[in-house]
Amino acid sequence: MDIISNLAYGFSVAFSLNNLGFAFIGVLLGTLVGVLPGIGPVATISMLLPITYVLSPVTGIIMLAGIYYGAQYGGSTTAILVNLPGESSSVVTAIDGHQMAKRGEAGAALVVAALGSLFAGIVGTILIAAFGPVLAQVAFAFGAPEYFSLVVLGLLGSVVLAHGSAMKAIAMIMLGLLFGTVGTDVNSGASRFTFGNLNLIDGFDIAVVAMGVFGIAELMRNIEDPPQQNLVANKVSGLWLSAKQFKAAAFAAIRGTAVGSILGLLPGGGAVLSSFASYTIEKKVARDPSRFGKGAIEGVAGPESANNAAAQTSFIPMLTLGIPATSTMALMIGAMTVHNIQPGPMIMTKQPDLFWGLIASMLIGNVILVILNLPLVGIWVKLLKIPYRLLLPAILLFSAIGLYSLENSTFDVMAAFGFGLFGYLMVRCGCEPAPFVLGFILGPMLEENLRRALTISQGDPSVFLTRPISLSLLVAAAALLALLVAPVFRNRREEIFQEAD
């Protein structure tokens, strides 16, 4: 009954005119960036972080969340219609979805993607409501040693699921930890790595870093290699399913939702990994695996449900433990800290309107997505024809305005472009920027809990091994490290992400 009463309170928050309006804006923008290649939710959220500074914490997070799960949906539309996945998690959807479109079943593929996403989104949101409070109660047993060990586990987990070389991912995390120490030490009050520059006294703003390494770096890469925009989709008709199609898709959606709900909790690429895992499972359980790749409806329903379920459940560790499962969740934490909100087990008691309002808004947002997007399929496809040379200057202009509005400082604008160049060069060197941002955000938490634990134990490092929860987390971290070293796992990991690319 507590869940029902809490959800009722959440709906009262989410149904306010302001929050409902920004939830609509969020899912609309999310669908747009999912449809348009070369932008993506991470870059968009990083560019829109400054807007949340003038919104209430609840409204701002609701809008950013809408962008995230809206993009998961939008990426499937162009994957099906023009074989151009807007999101990496939609790569698998394109395999069978576009084949269905080529034989005149685009409407059925879009309906399956929409209903599968809706079902997975609702189930994922209910899981947040059900297990979020339970996990938060467990988190009350966490002290400084446990939080330190949890951050270590989260960072290593992001290495396991990061694209490219594991050593490069570790190096990016270390760089992120280093940049996170810039500013004033909260313990001693001493300035660190500011080089006498007063603009660095408070360190780098998360919006500056994120907008640079994700948004501006992405624009630089698109200048070098503009996205394809000359593909023409067939006319979409027949937005319905036969009884046979519905039955096949329903079981695939249920399996995909189960896979995504579990893998979404993992740090790193939960949505991408979930869609690939779901597709593999569907081929294994199919009576005729040869249909896959030729327009099997299960190959659309399973992966779409999996990536949307993963997008929802990735909020659980972020909200209850303060540990981001993905780079997008790291940006969510950044948006919360701007409003002096610390994600973790106390958020449900100190900020119940944010926690339950966000959950209720996800249920509403997933319904809005289906109602909004099926009639607008034609419009989304036409947007693909807008020349990128017109989109680029507009995006840069609004990014610069948003950066300047943070502190009315040209330093923030220059710093973001510096991080943009850094992010661009890192990608050219085969390094992924997501571990860098995770290290930047989690670094202060790692340092604070390390120093606090050693202060309590009077400098005895065995405190991390004598406490059961901390020891268990460190053992899990050591197991992940062993996986990174194992050649079989390393080769399989590289094969999976090569397929995703």
The tens-digit pLDDT sequence of the chain (501 residues) is 477 788 888 889 988 888 899 989 888 888 877 776 556 677 677 777 777 777 888 888 888 888 887 877 777 777 777 666 656 667 678 778 878 877 777 778 888 888 888 888 888 888 888 877 777 677 667 788 888 888 888 777 767 656 667 778 888 888 988 998 888 876 777 888 888 888 888 888 877 887 788 778 877 887 777 655 544 444 555 567 777 888 888 888 899 898 888 877 766 556 666 787 788 888 888 888 888 888 888 888 888 888 888 888 888 777 777 777 677 777 787 778 777 777 777 777 778 888 888 888 888 888 888 787 767 766 766 666 667 677 677 777 777 776 776 677 888 888 888 998 998 898 888 887 878 877 887 788 888 888 888 888 888 888 888 888 888 888 988 887 777 766 655 555 555 555 545
User: Environment class of residue 494 by beta-carbon count within 10 Å: exposed (0-12), middle (13-18) or buried (19+)?
Assistant: middle
Strand, helix or coil for residue 147: helix
CB atoms within 10 A of CB 54: 9
The CA-CA-CA angle for residues 487, 488, 489, to 5°, reads 95
195 sits in the region (left: phi over 0; alpha: psi -120 to 50; else beta) called left
Residue keyed to tokens 């500074």: 53
Is residue 74 within 8 A of residue 66, CB to CB? The reply is no
- Distances 128 to 247, 262, 269 between C-alpha atoms, Å: 27, 12, 19
CB atoms within 10 A of CB 8: 11
- Distances 290 to 83, 184, 286, 287 between C-alpha atoms, Å: 20, 61, 9, 9
Segments in 286-387 forming alpha helices (H): 298-313, 315-321, 327-338, 347-350, 352-373, 377-383
